[in-house]
Amino acid sequence: MYTDADILRLARDIVSARKVVALSGAGMSVESGIPTFRGKGGLWEKYDPEEYGHITTLRHHPERAWIMLKEMQEAILPAKPNAGHYALAELEAMGLLSSIITQNVDGLHHVAGNKNVIEFHGNLQTTSCMDCGFQQPSADVPLDPLPPRCPKCRGPVKPDAVFFGEAIPVDALTRSHHEAQSCDLMLVIGTEAVVYPAASMPEIARSAGATVVEINPSRTPLTHFVSSYIIQGPAGEVLSKVVAEVKKLKG
Ligand code: OAD
């Protein structure tokens, strides 16, 4: 667990930093009711990501891929931001957070009010036809029977998220590199940091001289190798306490 001193330490680091950037992962949205990928109860315990999450499966066996996508959409589409998302939005509004690089496809940072969000793995909120490109809100895609088809051309459809076997959008990659390289404090929130290239962002920040701080109930491969310290607690709880301290420090 963490102490009040940990919270105060991070609040001070944020206030004194020149440029703060956050990298968020699935743990960020756990308090919004969305399960993680790895670990107990994670999505990858049920579905082999290399099969169900691969672009070739979506193209050639969409009925299989859509079993998992349906489960993801049912968790993600009704979800609301939690206290952690709102705390990050407040930090940005106070001019104390430059950007969020997120691996999450739930769009909750935007909903919470953050403006500068880099969606590294795309977004599940919209779905596009793989043949004609027609895009529609994912909420409008009928999930019975599976797989859904394009309403215009009956082609296979794909949520606008990045699948295994697909490249990271160039713009997201370029902007993330720039943010990681130019920050002096990176908050790494709720990610196991094992999926590259997103996982290289804390390493890039650290190599450029930044302090890297993790917020995660569990240690990760970054802990004490790349990160300077970890606040071991849930993101929503920790971030709202940190932002309350930041406000006190700013008077
Ligand atoms: P993981 O599922 O690998 O890791 C989730 C992390 O969240 C773990 O380190 C948990 O300890 C932590 N965690 C759990 N509850 C938390 C809480 N309440 N607050 C804070 N942290 C908590 O998820 P990611 O690292 O995001 O890729 O996974 C990265 C990528 O792997 C995903 O973007 C996805 C997947 O394959 C694609 O979809 C392309």
pLDDT score, position 41: 87
d(C-alpha 161, C-alpha 70), whole Å: 14
Do residues 87 and 111 touch, judged by C-beta distance below 8 A?
Answer: no
Q: Which residues line ligand 1 (CB under 6 A)?
A: 25-27, 30-31, 36-39, 42, 49, 103, 121, 162, 190-192, 195, 216-218, 220, 234-235
Residue 188 backbone phi and psi in degrees, to 5: -110, 105
Mutate to test the pocket of ligand 1, among 10, 43, 119, 191 (most ligand atoms within 8 A of CB): 191
> Can you tell me the distance from the alpha carbon of 71 to that of 150, in angstroms, rounded to the nearest whole number?
20
Which of the residues are catalytic?
A: 121
Ligand 1: distance of its center to the CA of 39 in Å? 9
Give tens-digit pLDDT for 198-238: 999 999 999 999 999 999 999 999 999 999 999 999 999 99
pLDDT, tens digit, for every residue of 100-158? Answer: 999 999 999 999 999 999 999 999 999 999 999 999 999 999 999 999 999 999 999 99
- Nearest-10 Cα torsion for 115, 30, 26, 62: -100
